[in-house]
Amino acid sequence: MAKTLYQLLNIPESANDQQIHRAFKDMERHWAKRGDDSALDTLNRAREAFVILSDTSRRIAYDRKLAASRIQPVEIESHRNFATPWLQRTAIALLLLFPIASWIYHNNEQSKQQAEREHIQTAQLLAATETIKSRQEQLLHDNQQIATQQQQEQEAKRQENELRLSQQQLDDAKLLSQQQLQNQARNLDLLEKHLNIEARDQEQNLAERKLELQYQKPAMAMALQEQQDQHLTLQRQRSLQQHDQNIASINNLRAARLRAYDRDHGSGGITRSNPAVDP
Q: Is the pLDDT of residue 166 over 70?
A: yes
pLDDT band at 133 (very low <50, low <70, confident <90, very high): confident
For a pLDDT cut of 70, what percent of the chain falls above it?
A: 77
The pLDDT value given to residue 84: 54
Rounded to the nearest integer, the mean pLDDT of the chain is 79
| Cβ–Cβ under 8 Å, residues 11 and 19 | yes
Buried b (16+ CB within 10 A) or exposed e, 213-242: eeeeeeeeeeeeeeeeeeeeeeeeeeeeee
pLDDT digits (tens, 9 = 90+) for 95-108: 667 666 666 776 67
Whole-prediction pTM: 0.31
Q: Give the helix/strand (H/E) hosting 83.
A: none
The pLDDT value given to residue 129: 62
The pLDDT value given to residue 115: 64
Q: How far is CA 148 from the centre of its chain?
A: 10
Measured CA to CA in angstroms, residue 215 lies from 202, 209, 220, 221, 226 at distances of 20, 10, 9, 11, 19
Q: Is the pLDDT of residue 74 over 50?
A: no
pLDDT band at 134 (very low <50, low <70, confident <90, very high): low
CATH 1.10.287.110 fits 5-119, yes or no: yes
Dihedrals φ, ψ of 29, to 5°? -65, -35
Q: Which position has the higher pLDDT, 218 or 1? A: 218
Q: Which position has the higher pLDDT, 130 or 140? A: 140
Amino acid at 253: L
Q: CA end-to-end span of the chain, whole Å?
A: 202
For a pLDDT cut of 90, what percent of the chain falls above it?
A: 15
Give the lowest-confidence range in 94-103, 141-150, 236-245.
94-103
The pLDDT value given to residue 164: 87
Q: Is the pLDDT of residue 271 over 60?
A: no
Q: Is the pLDDT of residue 245 over 70?
A: yes
The residue count of the chain comes to: 279
The pLDDT value given to residue 82: 45
CA atoms within 13 A on the CB side of 258: 15
Q: Is the pLDDT of residue 267 over 90?
A: no
The dihedral formed by the CA atoms of 123, 125, 128 and 129, expressed in degrees to the nearest 10: -110
| Rounded Cα distance, 248 and 255, in Å | 10
The pLDDT value given to residue 61: 92
pLDDT digits (tens, 9 = 90+) for 170-213: 788 788 878 887 888 788 788 888 878 887 888 888 888 888 76
pLDDT digits (tens, 9 = 90+) for 18-60: 999 999 999 888 888 877 888 888 889 999 999 999 999 999 9
Where along the chain do its domains lie?
5-119
The pLDDT value given to residue 34: 78
